[in-house]
Structure 1
């Protein structure tokens, strides 16, 4: 029999989550390396033959359509982070943000590529990405989706987000952009990339989470996100801290019995899904909530849907289990 008032700690959750992330990152890095090797081979053959190779030395800012998305965004993301700017001609904030993104794409000299997608002309892509308002900015790295931010941002904040994206692309996926040789070389004289300066507020948030100060961690992560809305690490940390705050005083046995006894009890299903996720049973948590969404309506359905989206944040948008669950959620919603 499990003890009552079992307290779940942050290290257990972070371990359960990070194992999947490490596996996905390793696979993506392997694919990225294979793509780089192939492009290098093509470039060498082209140089020897004196003919150009499509994609080598490609543009840093480009307009993308539904027909060119696979090649220009997905395939290219195996070599360089592709920032995707969703915009429309009628969108006033887009006209403020897009020039900033374009200018920084040129300034970063091949560390990123900017793909601009007109949502009016490419509605299928906008729907697939779940775009509900613009401007919206996402990234694709090694074929994996990385949400960045929504709404207009000033140049300083955009720069911070791009710096974090480049660091994530290198550290998690092994991708160091160069856009086929365009732009200045990265790193110092030894060719090493400088690490990003450690954010003391983010470090404090991590430390609070690790020692079980969940309220302090939540506040610290929110402080980071106030200044850096697109900080993916802070978004993940906040989602983890909020989840742990919900389950810390649960009696796991009582929660599971209540959920099994009454599938129509939405709160019991939400609580059980939280426990599933903390225990590393990711698919079970997602499946439980998708089923709950499918058999409920009104406020109950919305509560289950919102909780599912919150758990997506804990795992991360680039996890294939999140992608599968999003597809399942769309089926029951529409």
Structure 2
């Protein structure tokens, strides 16, 4: 079903509002369980923000209440920005627009996009939220096949979708994951390296690239698993050994144990080696995906440590 943005349907309460750190949970996280919510992180000194925000407001209002926009001034909400950044949301530059759906980040972009690209972004978000995106069922089927261990069958679906929709980041990321599962990691890396800069920045693509990097590091760490455990037994504050142990555990598909190992390192000394344990945990989050159950649980644990 084609999603049409029609200004004549823009009735009811204004879907555009200013937000802050006090109301973020209510206006964004909780509200996104009903309709998709875009969060525009901006600043008064940001030139591109002055071009993006009015266009974004126009497109959101034209969606007729099917999507909302919450604008966050980063200078007035530094605590919120710091917390979101530490939890893995890239807010080093503005404007950054994050789309929330069902309490989680569904997509994001940075920089000022033209109105046509904004419409496309919101249309894709609405299709995803409504479960009506033409390729959604195929993507779900391929994902299910891959999770069930049939990477070859999943590969055929992802490859077909990639040919039909060359800009479909989910299909391309799925294709790379199938290649990894089929022990064709070099081919997966070549495919990812050939993508446009825009696609490389997509969260799905970033996730699979992080997965490859962690797999490479994990193979090296696994060979010294016993040594890391012995070092920790001798000295529980050997943070380097604890981080390497987490990398090895992750490569063995022991995600929960890997996350708990890094959380223990952060608890003992969060500042060690320029927050190395925290950075490694964020790398895990990126590779596992925003909605992975272990990511969600570990993110809550990280938040509790950082803001206790």
Q: Does 1:96 align with 2:66?
A: no
1:194 to 117, 134, 157: 134
> Separation in 2 of the partners of 1:236 and 1:164?
20
Secondary structure at the residue paired with 2:48? helix
> Separation in 2 of the partners of 1:291 and 1:89?
40
The list of structure 1 runs, each at least 4 consecutive aligned residues, that deviate by more than 6 angstroms after superposition, is none
> Separation in 2 of the partners of 1:139 and 1:104?
14
Q: Does 1:261 align with 2:231?
A: yes
Q: Deviations over 1:54-90 (max 9, x none)?
A: xx94333222234543443233211211010111212
2:208 to 237, 261, 280: 237
Secondary structure at the residue paired with 2:161? coil
> Separation in 1 of the partners of 2:21 and 2:307?
22
1:134/1:73 CA distance change after superposition, 3 Å: same
1:291 to 247, 254, 264: 264
Aligned residues of 1:78 and 1:142 also touching (Cα < 8 A): yes
> Separation in 1 of the partners of 2:272 and 2:120?
37
1:308/1:67 CA distance change after superposition, 3 Å: closer
2:185 to 190, 214, 235: 214
Can you give the 5+ residue segments of structure 2 that lack an aligned partner in the other structure?
A: 1-10, 86-90, 137-159, 167-171
> Separation in 2 of the partners of 1:228 and 1:156?
18
- Count of residues paired in the alignment: 256
> Separation in 2 of the partners of 1:241 and 1:168?
27
Secondary structure at the residue paired with 1:273? helix
Q: Which residue matches 2:94?
A: 134
Matches within 5 A, 1:1-334: 57-130=12-85, 131-146=91-106, 148-153=108-113, 158=118, 161-162=121-122, 165-171=125-131, 193-195=133-135, 198-200=161-163, 202=172, 204-224=175-195, 226-228=197-199, 231-251=202-222, 254-262=224-232, 263-295=236-268, 300-318=273-291, 319-330=295-306
Specify which structure has the bigger relative contact order, considering alpha-carbon pairs within 8 angstroms and separated by 6 or more residues.
1
Cα deviation for residue 299 of structure 1 reads 7.1
1:330/1:223 CA distance change after superposition, 3 Å: farther
Aligned residues of 2:218 and 2:250 also touching (Cα < 8 A): no
1:256/1:113 CA distance change after superposition, 3 Å: farther
Aligned residues of 2:38 and 2:97 also touching (Cα < 8 A): yes
Q: Deviations over 1:89-123 (max 9, x none)?
A: 12112123323422432454444322111223334
Secondary structure at the residue paired with 1:137? strand
Aligned residues of 2:221 and 2:245 also touching (Cα < 8 A): no
- Please report the RMSD computed on the Cα atoms of aligned residues, expressed in angstroms: 3.5
Secondary structure at the residue paired with 1:317? coil
For normalisation by structure 2, the TM-score amounts to 0.67
Q: Which residue matches 2:4?
A: none
For normalisation by structure 1, the TM-score amounts to 0.62
Q: Deviations over 1:9-52 (max 9, x none)?
A: xxxxxxxxxxxxxxxxxxxxxxxxxxxxxxxxxxxxxxxxxxxx
Q: Which residue matches 1:45?
A: none
> Separation in 2 of the partners of 1:137 and 1:270?
32
Secondary structure at the residue paired with 1:198? helix
Cα deviation for residue 295 of structure 1 reads 4.5
